Structure 1
Amino acid sequence: MFGMSMDIGIDLGTANVLIYVKNKGIVLREPSVVAVDKDTNQVLAIGEEARRMIGRTPGNIVAIRPLKEGVIADYDITESMLRHFIEKVVGHSFVFRPRIMICIPSGCTMVEQRAVQEAAEQAGARHTQLIEEPLAAALGAGLDIVEPCGSMVVDIGGGTTDIAVISLGGIVTSASLRIAGDKFDADIIAYVKREFNMMIGERTAEDIKMNIGAAFAEARKEEMDIRGRDMLTGLPKNLTITTAQAAEAMNQSVTRIVEQVKKVLEETPPELSADIMDRGIILTGGGAMLYGLDELIRRETEIPTALADDPLSCVALGCGKALDTFAKFDGKATNLKMRH
């Protein structure tokens, strides 16, 4: 087995769950989706298997995403999902219950934090510690967050965008927005419905976002054929959509994120602002991969902005790095504890 104890870090995201095991790296990456039979309330599939069922299930089977906008929307299902993933990683032998570090969005209330902690403990954790997402993202992106020098991270996940200026291992100024990757998808669905009287599903919207989407219209020139349902005739129909249209669809949400980044910069103490001018802004999270977003933030703030090396894994990697700090301070209050 894994010696006496196993330490794992969990990025419990709205869109995906990633699990990091000490000395092994990221061992699990699955969508945060659970398929449930409505009639019996029985869980039928979890993760990738359940994601494939989205939008394609018979009436009694629903694919549920138990986390909405970074917080637990369905407690029991979140717990079953966590248990399933933890067992997948640790095996069924709960002789060694793992110590777990879990990431939460920086805007989480105490009640929401407690829900995450309880779900993890119910799912088999021996001890749970929470770390705020921007701290984990910064650690995972390779920033040295303990020095007295300002770093700025913009972590755009599925459900939330966390923006934070970090110095001396703590968050100096931050903002949390419930606008991120999922909102971009919803914007595209609404736009296609409004402009073309056509219904498309979540998966199609996500394909548009990833393949031809952009943070601003001039970022690239692509087009894509999509199919959906004509709302007037009820029949399937094809349509070509362009980058400019996708960018227009997401414009409001993207603008909100950029404005929030500027606002956090305005609230930052001048010494740290100077550091950020030198070191730049780091973008992490799947939503940050929207084409041209780094360029747009760079234009709007006049600060160098770069996408982290592996934006999807930063938070999970950071959770893993935080486990080492956690081993040193086991049980004692650490800098990574929640400050509220």
Structure 2
Amino acid sequence: MASTDIGIDLGTASILVYVKGKGVVLNEPSVVAYDRDTDKIVEIGEEARLMLGRTPGNIVAIRPLRHGVISDYTTTEKMLKYFIRKAVGRNLFGRRPCISVCVPSGVTEVEKRAVETATYNAGARDVTIIEEPVAAAIGAGIDIMRPCGNLIVDIGGGTTDIAVISLGGTVVSSSIKVAGDDFDDAIIRFMKKRFNLLIGDRTAEEIKINIGTCYKRPENISMDVRGRNMVSGLPKTVTVASDDIEEALRETTGQIVEAIKGVLERTPPELAADISDRGVVLTGGGALLHGLEELIEEKTGITTMTAEDPMSAVAIGTGKYVEYFNGNV
């Protein structure tokens, strides 16, 4: 095949690019920094993420994707072009690649078309749009072509996609706009309320990764958090424990559990029996939150496990989708 086949996980928090034969070759934050005065893009990806909350007045660092859909079309197109070039090298326009892109299962036809057009404009020869849970299942190594039910929960940055998959298709699905970014927002709100401390998105993410949990840890670990005191306006450091973060995330993680229960309630009985045997599979960056497996297991009574590489599962599944279906049909 002359073209380079690419799978793109177009995420709210990060973009992963899978190249056939090479695996995931790029994993960068979906952040773009541009100069407001000249309207020129300054940085894209990791360099732009480091600028979040730290830019002078004329430079703005933004995320052009919100809740898994395009909120800033032009910037998304430029960002896609940049990442595709970075992944496949400079000879992109000599041979245009076939690109598969995944989108949350709840997006509208208009939103799908926006992704498709942006991908074509970024240099694709052919574009296939795939639903996130199907890609996640393939990437997690599940044989979705068999006639038995698999429950996939893909927790990204902007959306959580829950789907029951059987015979290569989605039987029941739900997409909610509660995910990793909402965990960060919940931590920011909690720090304001409990400690009168103002912190940024990056600090909230550090707390989530280091001591975040949604299920009581065996030992209560803590870390020092720096921010701005809302009363005095001066820098301040406080010590936060994992039990505090469990409390902060209770409502947000509760919404994800309720959405999983909602999908299970709508699942046909035969497939529900399969899921009860096979368990729930978690993918996406949000699946790395400590205690999520235990929480879902406790609330649903179904064994829950996280995919081997939850962060890359969707990108791998997106890249393998076309050959997977061609090989199985």
TM-score normalized with structure 2 length: 0.97
Asked whether the equivalents of residues 151 and 276 of structure 1 are also in contact (C-alpha less than 8 Å), the reply is yes
Name the counterpart of 1:158. 157
SS of equivalent residue, structure 1 residue 217: coil
- Aligned residue runs from structure 1 range 41-80, under 5 A: 41-80=39-78
Q: Shift in Å at residue 326 of structure 1? A: 6.2
Over residues 309-328 of structure 1, what are the superposed CA-to-partner deviations in whole Å (9 max), with x where a residue is unaligned?
00000000101110314666
Name the counterpart of 2:221. 222
**Structure 2: distance between partners of 1:175 and 1:219:** 33
Name the counterpart of 1:10. 8
SS of equivalent residue, structure 1 residue 55: coil
Over residues 131-190 of structure 1, what are the superposed CA-to-partner deviations in whole Å (9 max), with x where a residue is unaligned?
000000000000000110000000000000000000000000011010000000011001
Asked whether the equivalents of residues 136 and 313 of structure 2 are also in contact (C-alpha less than 8 Å), the reply is yes
Name the counterpart of 2:272. 273
Over residues 292-325 of structure 1, what are the superposed CA-to-partner deviations in whole Å (9 max), with x where a residue is unaligned?
0001101111111001100000000101110314
Name the counterpart of 1:293. 292
Q: Which amino acid is the alignment partner of residue 316 of structure 2? A: L
Name the counterpart of 1:182. 181
Q: Shift in Å at residue 216 of structure 1? A: 2.5
SS of equivalent residue, structure 2 residue 94: coil
When the two chains are superposed, the root-mean-square deviation of aligned CA atoms in Å is 1.4
Name the counterpart of 1:321. 320
Asked whether the equivalents of residues 219 and 291 of structure 1 are also in contact (C-alpha less than 8 Å), the reply is no
Name the counterpart of 1:108. 107
Name the counterpart of 2:310. 311
**Structure 2: distance between partners of 1:160 and 1:64:** 18
Name the counterpart of 1:338. none
**Structure 2: distance between partners of 1:296 and 1:197:** 29
**Structure 1: distance between partners of 2:70 and 2:175:** 16
SS of equivalent residue, structure 2 residue 130: strand
Q: Do structure 1's residue 193 and structure 2's residue 192 form an aligned pair? A: yes
Unaligned runs of 5+ in 1: 335-340
Q: Which amino acid is the alignment partner of residue 125 of structure 1? A: A
**Structure 2: distance between partners of 1:300 and 1:18:** 32
Counting aligned pairs with the same residue, the percent is 59
Unaligned runs of 5+ in 2: none
SS of equivalent residue, structure 2 residue 95: coil
**Structure 1: distance between partners of 2:111 and 2:327:** 27
Name the counterpart of 2:124. 125
Asked whether the equivalents of residues 8 and 20 of structure 1 are also in contact (C-alpha less than 8 Å), the reply is yes
Q: Which amino acid is the alignment partner of residue 134 of structure 1? A: P
Asked whether the equivalents of residues 215 and 294 of structure 2 are also in contact (C-alpha less than 8 Å), the reply is no
Asked whether the equivalents of residues 9 and 323 of structure 1 are also in contact (C-alpha less than 8 Å), the reply is no
Closer/same/farther in 2, CA of residues 128 and 327 from structure 1, 3 Å limit: farther
Query: How many pairs are equivalent?
Result: 328
Asked whether the equivalents of residues 219 and 292 of structure 1 are also in contact (C-alpha less than 8 Å), the reply is no
Name the counterpart of 1:261. 260
- Aligned residue runs from structure 1 range 76-87, under 5 A: 76-87=74-85
TM-score normalized with structure 1 length: 0.94
Of the structure 1 ranges 77-86 and 33-42, higher mean CA displacement relative to structure 2 is found in: 33-42
